[in-house]
Structure 1
Amino acid sequence: MNGDGYTFHRDNVPAARELRKRETKSEDTLWEHLRSRRFYGLKFRRQHPIGAFVLDFFCQEMMFAVEIDGGIHRDPEVAVRDLERQRTLEALHIQFFRWTAEAVETDASVVVRQLAIALGIEDP
Structure 2
Amino acid sequence: MTERRIRRIRQPILTAAKEHRQKATPAEAHLWEALRGQQMRGVPFRRQHPVERFILDFYCPREKLCVELDGPVHDGQQDYDAARTEALGRLKIRVLRFRNEEVLQDLPSVLRRIEAALDAS
Q: Which residue of 1 aligns with 2:95?
A: 96
CA deviation profile, 1:11-69 (whole Å, cap 9, x unmatched): 32111001111100000000011000000001110000011110000000000100000
Show structure 2 runs of 5+ residues with no match. Answer: 1-5
**Residue type of the alignment partner of 1:87:** E
Q: Cα RMSD (Å) of the superposition?
A: 1.6
TM-fit CA distance, 1:74? 1.3
Count of equivalent residues: 113
Q: Which residue of 1 aligns with 2:7?
A: 7
**Residue type of the alignment partner of 1:49:** P
**Residue type of the alignment partner of 1:108:** L
**Residue type of the alignment partner of 1:113:** R
- Say whether residues 1:34 and 2:38 are aligned partners: no
Deviation above 6 Å: which 4+ runs of structure 1?
none
- Say whether residues 1:67 and 2:83 are aligned partners: no
The TM-score, its normalising length taken from structure 2, stands at: 0.87
SS in 1 for 2:40: coil
